Amino acid sequence: MNRAAATSSGTTLFEQVTAARHPNAVSWHWLHNRAPMGRLVVSGPDAATFLQAQTTNDVLALAIHQGVGEGQLTTYLDRKAGIRVMGALLRTGQTEFTLIAPPAFSEALATVFEQVHFAEDLTLSFSQGPVLSVQGGGLSQLHPTMAPLGNWASAHVDVELGTTAPLLKVGQPTTGEPGLWFVGSESDLDRLVRHLINDHQAVELSLEAVEVLRVEAGWLAAGVDILPGTPLTNTGLQHPPHQCISYTKGCFPGQEVVAKVKTTGSAPKSLVGLVLPSHQFEAPAPMPTGAEVWHNEQVIGTVTSSVVSPTLDAVLCIVSMKRDWRVPGKHLNVVIAGNPYLATVTFLPFYQRTGQAEQARAAYEAGLDAFGASDEAEAERLFRQAIAFDPRLADAYESLGVLLGRHQQYDEAVELMKQLAELDPDCVMARANLSLYYMKLGMIDAAEQEKAEATRLQFSQQVARQMAEQQAAMARQAEADEQAQRLAMFEEVLALDPDDLVAGYGLGSLYLARGAFEQAVACLSHNIEVDAGHSVSYLALGQAYEGMGNSQKAEAVYEAGVAVASRRGDMRPLSQMQTHLARLRS
């Protein structure tokens, strides 16, 4: 990989990305190159119920705890479930909510809610302004007000920099590292930048480095991977960890189409990752945006984002891919922009920071413990946390789906099981649970289809197990037949010449392998009587005594064998006997 390509900041892309991935790094950048983000403040007694009816997520579930507001990813859809607005919806007061939308959706944010607001007791206040993104593992070492929040959580903070108003802080790891967004006036954010640079040695990332980090982290960019009008069901945002839809909150615009896709199965297209290892390129370069991905002379997807990843030493592509090829770990021979590549399909993110998978597994195990202790609310929280840490942890999807099914939250349980089926296409439990939950929802045809698929998978796996067992039995029989032939051959040789060292060692080794330790001792002891310098016979004889449980004799044989092997320069048996001796003496 070319590590010398300079970025606009003067350092190489490799250096910037590597530095940003350091556990103690703190870096910053203006989102969208200072392009203004849209901000809509909805306040008043009817704010929550108004947003509840218009957006896709459960606004009424958001709360404020000790000054920290909960938040969520949400969307506003047209009648065909196309995304008109998407962004972070934050509870910033008891009767106040702030919706922050990226530039691609900012214009719509300024108009769509005004169009559907009639007699509700609330006010809508739209503005535009910059957002400062601060990312890195070193955030936890900064001022308490800079400590990362949970994803989409928010708080108003005053970082004591003489700002004209407290900044809105939002938990948002856009690069795969712990991260925050700060929302405020440009002058106040400039003061924060100077504070980060002067007091905490924070480094500004170039736009090129930000793009690499974003794609590595699987962060879907509005206006790039998700365009206005893109069907929500084609994005994957409805699945954990994004979970921009609540299936229990009631009606919202576009719900009928979303429900139809949920009924008919997974979306025909969705965003996944494609990894092209760098060794296939003379000079690795990103794939063109919009390039078609061909496989077996048909188009299976379209590239929405692509970067050269120094972290993974590969060209990474976010691809809107058809259903049949969205199998994680699947290797595909593809053609992109006229060139052939070997690529691997993966679910996003491409990159997970060190320890994140372990954190996910720990949260999952803790969730199982909580479930065992009948604390199902805590179990649900921990299973969701596990998915947030590792969106590819299949066990967490299954456990959370089963738990929600127990509480009759069948719609979300269905989505979890569908996601599990994509993560693990051979998972029988995913199909069996889907059949059960569809039946509970009264979707008889869908339930029967999933039951048939579960039966097919179960039968296929049973046949595969039987075939594997048969092959293993045949291999064992073949090995036994081969050993019997060799045994007969060695015995025939020794009948003619009882002192043949090769036949004696071969026969003793066969007895050793079969667990006939006493017969092995007899053969190998005779070999040493014939030739006291036959070092490999000492090794096998010591192992035979160990097999009989006679450690004392084994140790004595190894000691004698080490001396013989040392004199003869037989390094391999010498090393092996020394290892056995060290273990016996420990």
Nearest-angstrom CA–CA distance, 43 and 92: 9
Tens of pLDDT, residue by residue over 49-76, are 999 999 999 999 998 887 789 999 999 9
* Residues 102 and 40 placed together within one structural domain of the fold: yes
96-101 vs 203-204, strand pairing mode: unpaired
- Closest by CA to 87, choosing from 70, 63, 104, is 104
**Does residue 532 surpass a pLDDT of 80?**
yes
C-alpha torsion angle, residues 310, 172, 322, 256 (rounded to 10) = 180
* Residues 350 and 363 placed together within one structural domain of the fold: no
Q: Which two tokens stand for residue 380?
A: 């649900």
Q: What is the pLDDT of residue 260?
A: 79
Torsional class of 337: left (φ above 0), alpha (ψ -120 to 50), beta (otherwise)? left
Give the three-class secondary structure for 139: helix
Q: What is the pLDDT of residue 257?
A: 87
Contact, 304 vs 269, CB < 8 A?
no
Q: What is the pLDDT of residue 151?
A: 82
Q: What is the pLDDT of residue 415?
A: 85
3-state helix, strand, coil in the chain (%, to 5): 50, 20, 30
Instruction: Tell me the average pLDDT across 540-567.
Output: 92
The widest CA-to-CA distance across the chain, in whole angstroms, is 109
- Closest by CA to 213, choosing from 344, 32, 21, is 21
Confidence of residue 6 (pLDDT cuts 50, 70, 90): very low
Q: What is the pLDDT of residue 131?
A: 92
* Residues 113 and 53 placed together within one structural domain of the fold: yes
* Residues 197 and 274 placed together within one structural domain of the fold: no
Instruction: Tell me the average pLDDT across 399-408.
Output: 93
* Residues 385 and 342 placed together within one structural domain of the fold: no
Q: 45 preceded by cis ω (within 30°)?
A: no
Contact, 503 vs 493, CB < 8 A?
yes
Give the three-class secondary structure for 372: helix
Tens of pLDDT, residue by residue over 205-255, are 888 999 999 999 999 999 999 999 999 989 988 877 788 988 888 889 998
Contact, 294 vs 285, CB < 8 A?
no
Confidence of residue 152 (pLDDT cuts 50, 70, 90): confident
* pTM listed for this prediction: 0.71
Q: What is the pLDDT of residue 263?
A: 67
Give the count of beta carbons closer than 10 Å to the beta carbon of residue 406. Answer: 11
Instruction: Tell me the average pLDDT across 130-148.
Output: 82
154-157 vs 68-69, strand pairing mode: antiparallel
Q: What is the pLDDT of residue 434?
A: 92
275 lies in some domain:
yes
**Does residue 7 surpass a pLDDT of 60?**
no
Residue type, position 577, single letter:
M
User: What is the residue-averaged pLDDT of the chain?
Assistant: 89
66 lies in some domain:
yes
Q: Which two tokens stand for residue 210?
A: 């930000």
User: Is 93 exposed, middle or buried, given 0-12, 13-18 or 19+ CB atoms closer than 10 A?
Assistant: middle
Q: What CATH number does residue 192 fall under?
A: 3.30.1360.120
221 lies in some domain:
no
* Residues 345 and 374 placed together within one structural domain of the fold: no
Q: What is the pLDDT of residue 476?
A: 83
Owning domain of residue 555 = 497-585
* Residues 443 and 375 placed together within one structural domain of the fold: yes
Q: What is the pLDDT of residue 163?
A: 72
* Residues 116 and 26 placed together within one structural domain of the fold: yes
What is the total count of domains within the chain?
Answer: 4
105 lies in some domain:
yes
Q: What is the pLDDT of residue 161?
A: 67
Confidence of residue 264 (pLDDT cuts 50, 70, 90): low
448 lies in some domain:
yes
Instruction: Tell me the average pLDDT across 284-291.
Output: 95
Share of the chain above pLDDT 90, in %: 51
Residue type, position 110, single letter:
A
Nearest-angstrom CA–CA distance, 275 and 331: 9
* Residues 212 and 169 placed together within one structural domain of the fold: yes
Give the three-class secondary structure for 327: coil
399 lies in some domain:
yes
Task: Classify residue 79 by its DSSP letter.
Answer: T
**Does residue 8 surpass a pLDDT of 70?**
no
Nearest-angstrom CA–CA distance, 320 and 574: 59
User: Is 106 exposed, middle or buried, given 0-12, 13-18 or 19+ CB atoms closer than 10 A?
Assistant: buried
**Does residue 2 surpass a pLDDT of 60?**
no
Confidence of residue 5 (pLDDT cuts 50, 70, 90): very low
Q: Which residue has the higher pLDDT, 265 or 561?
A: 561
Nearest-angstrom CA–CA distance, 484 and 415: 57
Tens of pLDDT, residue by residue over 163-207, are 778 889 999 888 888 899 999 888 888 888 888 888 878 888 888
**Cα dist from 359 to 363, 365, 527, whole Å:** 6, 10, 57
**Does residue 555 surpass a pLDDT of 70?**
yes
Q: Which two tokens stand for residue 148?
A: 């990362």
Q: What is the pLDDT of residue 24?
A: 85
Q: Which two tokens stand for residue 262?
A: 């949920």
Q: Which two tokens stand for residue 119?
A: 């007699």
* Residues 199 and 348 placed together within one structural domain of the fold: no
Given 334, 354, 374, the domain boundary residue is: 354
* Residues 515 and 434 placed together within one structural domain of the fold: no
Place of tokens 């947003």: 51
22 lies in some domain:
yes
Give the three-class secondary structure for 82: strand
Contact, 457 vs 428, CB < 8 A?
yes
1 lies in some domain:
no
Confidence of residue 354 (pLDDT cuts 50, 70, 90): confident
Instruction: Tell me the average pLDDT across 422-438.
Output: 90
Given 460, 482, 506, the domain boundary residue is: 460
Q: What CATH number does residue 321 fall under?
A: 2.40.30.110
Q: What is the pLDDT of residue 32?
A: 61
**Does residue 3 surpass a pLDDT of 80?**
no
* Residues 421 and 450 placed together within one structural domain of the fold: yes
What is the full DSSP assignment across 402-428? HHHHHTT-HHHHHHHHHHHHHH-TT-H
Contact, 20 vs 310, CB < 8 A?
no
Given 304, 320, 354, the domain boundary residue is: 354
Integer Rg of the chain from CA? 32
**Does residue 351 surpass a pLDDT of 70?**
yes
- Give, in degrees to the nearest 5, the angle at Cα 221 between 215 and 223: 140
203-204 vs 27-30, strand pairing mode: parallel
